[in-house]
A and B are shown apart, each in its own frame.
Chain A
Amino acid sequence: MRVSKTNYKIANAHLTSRLKQTLVAILSVTFGISMYIFMNSFMTGVNDTQTGLAFSTLAHIRIYNDIPKDNTDLFAGHVDENTLVNVRNPKVIQYTDGIKNSAKILNMLDTIPEINGITPQLNINVFFRNGATKVNGMLSGIDVVNEDKLFGTSQYVIEGDWMELNRRSDGILLGSGLAKKLSLNLNDNVVVLTEEGITKNYKVIGIVETTLASVDNTKAYIRIGFARQLISKNMGYVTDIQINLDDYSHTQELSKTLGKMTKYKVEPWQEANGQLEAANKLRNIIAIAVSLTILIVAGFGIYNIMNMTVNEKIREIAILKAMGFDGKDIIQIFLTQSVIIGILGGIVGIVLGYLVSLLVNHIPFKIASLETLPITYRTSDYIMAFFFGLITTFIAGYLPSKKASQVDPVEIIRG
Chain B
Amino acid sequence: MEDLSLSVKNLNKYFYEPQTFHVLKDISFDIKKGEFLALTGKSGSGKSTLLYILSTMDTAYDGSLTINGEVLTGKPQNELAAFRNEHIGFVFQFHYLLPEFSALDNVMLPALKLEKRPVEEIKEKALENLKLLGIEDQALKSASKLSGGQQQRVAIARALINEPAIIMGDEPTGNLDSKNTRIVFDIFRELAAERGQTIIAVTHDDDFADNCDRTLELMDGKLIFQ
Contact = CB atoms under 8 A, between A and B. Distances in A.
A324 B110 contact: yes
B82 A17 contact: no
Contact of A324 (B52, B105, B113): B113
A250 B90 CA distance: 69
Interface stretch (B96-104, B129-137, B173-181): B96-104
Contacts of B115: 4, 6
A2 to B, nearest CB: 12
Contact of B78 (A9, A322, A328, A414): A328
Nearest to A313: B98
Contact of B86 (A13, A324, A414): A324
Given A4-B113, A326-B78, 6 more contacts: A5-B112, A10-B98, A16-B100, A325-B85, A410-B57, A413-B92
A274 B158 CA distance: 73
A322 B98 contact: no
B98 A413 contact: no
Contacts of B170: 413
18 contacts: A4-B115, A6-B112, A6-B113, A13-B98, A14-B100, A315-B96, A320-B98, A321-B81, A322-B57, A322-B90, A323-B158, A324-B82, A324-B86, A324-B88, A324-B114, A326-B77, A329-B81, A410-B52
A326 B57 CA distance: 11
Given A13-B98, A13-B101, A413-B170, A325 B113 contact: yes
B109 A6 contact: yes
B5 interface: no
A10 B143 CA distance: 14
B109 A326 contact: no
A326 B110 CA distance: 12
Contact of B57 (A9, A10, A315, A409): A409
A323 B109 contact: yes
A17 B105 CA distance: 15
A324 B57 contact: no
Contacts of B110: 323-324
Given A5-B112, A10-B98, A14-B100, A327 B90 contact: no
Contacts of A329: 81, 113
Contact of B85 (A9, A324, A409, A413): A324
Nearest to A318: B96
Contact of A319 (B78, B82, B83, B98): B98
Interface in B106-155: 109-110, 112-115
A14 B98 CA distance: 10
Contact of A323 (B78, B84, B105): B84
B48 interface: yes
A321 B55 CA distance: 11
Nearest to B158: A323
A326 B82 contact: yes
User: Interface centre among A6, A10, A322, A413, by most B CB within 10 Å?
Assistant: A322
Nearest to B82: A324
Contact of A322 (B84, B99, B105): B84
A316 interface: yes
A116 to B, nearest CB: 61
